[in-house]
Structure 1
Amino acid sequence: MAPSRGCKWQTEAGRTTIRRIVAEKIPEWTGGLHEWQVIIVAWILDGEDVLCVTATGDGKSALFAVPMIVLLEVAKNPAAYPGFANYKKPVALVIAPTKGLAGNIVRDYNLSINDFD
């Protein structure tokens, strides 16, 4: 992903926007993202390389799913997010090491191929 032009996701406004989009798009996450997740998602959205090592079940999958959710929302409603980079057709490639993990990702994020038309 190219670095963002205009507003930076790492600003307070950017992090607040990430939290708001997650609350709207994933209401079942009643507690929202952990602060460390918000920080790393902002880095990713700003085009920075990230290496994250945490325990199983800590929420690493959110680090690839949430940026895509945010980018899809901005692409659908660019006027609602002035100043943030708008990728008309954002794309993510996720390589899962096991079928089980791949299935969990699809289930946990309610994904289908139709989500990306």
Structure 2
Amino acid sequence: MSSNVAFTSIEGVNTVNSIVKKLIPKWKDGLREIQLFCILTILNLEDVFAIEATGGGKSALFGIPVLVHLEISQNPSLYPKFTVPIRSDPIAVVVTPTKGLASNIVRVV
């Protein structure tokens, strides 16, 4: 595998898609196009501001990057070297407007 791969490259896209397929087999169709775009941008350490309706898949935008970091850090020989640091203990910070929504996210994720 090549070195210094950006997540937004073809190799990065394939890596993220393969990790999602491996870790979340229930998602038969994988990530939606907008989710994939946002997640690749986030993994490249760029900011994303996303607005989507309820049920649109926003939770994947903070959950999948954590899973990607964990998978790559636990199995580095299976994946290319990326241009950004891969964290073995990734953290996602989620700001929610209401206590009820926050409780729902914790239960779902």
Q: TM-score, normalised by structure 2?
A: 0.83
Q: What's 2:12 paired with?
A: 14
Runs of 4+ in 1 over 6 A off after TM superposition: none
Q: Is the 8 A contact 1:10 1:46 kept in 2?
A: yes
**Match among 26, 32, 46 for residue 30 of structure 2:** 32
Distance across 2 between alignment mates of 1:27 and 1:108: 17
RMSD: 1.8
C-alpha deviation, 1:38, in angstroms: 0.7
Q: What's 2:46 paired with?
A: 48
Q: Is the 8 A contact 1:37 1:63 kept in 2?
A: yes
Q: Deviations over 1:37-81 (max 9, x none)?
A: 111100000011111112221111111111111111111111111
Q: Kindly report which structure 2 residues correspond to 1:1-117, keeping only aligned pairs within 5 A, or say none.
A: 6-84=4-82, 85-109=85-109
For structure 1, list consecutive stretches of 5 or more residues without a partner in the other structure: 110-117
Deviates more, 1:82-91 or 1:47-56: 82-91
Residues matched between the structures, number: 105
Secondary structure at the aligned position of 2:93 is classed as coil
Q: Deviations over 1:59-107 (max 9, x none)?
A: 1111111111111111111111121232232222223333433333233
**Which residue identity lines up with residue 33 of structure 2 in the other structure?**
E
**Which residue identity lines up with residue 89 of structure 2 in the other structure?**
K
